[in-house]
Amino acid sequence: MNFAKRLLMVSGAVALAGIFGALLTPKTAHAVIATLVQVVGNVAVVNPVDANGNKVSLLGRDADNPALQPFQFSSFNAGGIFFEVPVPAGTRLVIENISVACFESPVNSNLDLRVSTVAGGVFGQYTSAFQRTGSSNEMIATQSGRLYADGGSTVTIATGFGVPAGSNCGASMSGYLVSTP
């Protein structure tokens, strides 16, 4: 009986010590950290001013943040696949996704998507194969990744093998523009 009583008392003491430790630890840690950083005297926090005396925000953001200049192109061509997308001067186009769908006669199954860009003054062409969907007349191709195009150049979306006469194709492209110096 004495053994059970002692075991119960020791267990209770350990539990009580654990509760006190949990309650006191956050305050102790806060007190230790607070003593490491002490501000003495008056500290003025003011926004700097520009040349005209207007306050300039201390908060900054990336001037080339992709969310600031989203880019999207979408078009439909009843004559097949040939789309030209001009890139505005003073920017660089970053292409992240291209999707093309064609409704054509099932005769030609050798279609390929070709995206041409000029980046850093160098021409590049990127290809992707079309795949037939559940519909026997619909073919789709998608490119995801990053392609770049210089400002003032033209991005071309086309096919290496011609589509049959009477094909109807649509293209969508998304990405963002980055300002260039």
Q: What is the pTM of this model?
A: 0.60
Nearest to 80 by CA among 160, 178, 181, 173: 160
DSSP structure string for 72-103 = EEEEEETT-SEEEEEPPTTEEEEEEEEEEEEE
Dump pLDDT digits (tens) for 104-152: 655 555 678 889 999 999 999 998 888 877 766 788 888 888 999 999 9
User: Across the beta sheet with 131-132, what order do the strands follow?
Assistant: 70-77, 168-179, 91-103, 138-150, 131-132
Which domains are delineated in the chain? 66-179 (2.60.120)
Strands 112-119 and 122-129: antiparallel
How many alpha carbons lie under 13 Å from residue 168 in its C-beta half-sphere? 4
pLDDT in tens, the chain (181 residues): 676 666 566 566 655 555 655 555 555 555 555 555 566 677 666 667 788 887 776 655 555 565 568 899 999 887 777 889 999 999 999 999 999 888 865 555 567 888 999 999 999 999 888 887 776 678 888 888 899 999 999 999 988 766 666 678 889 999 999 888 7
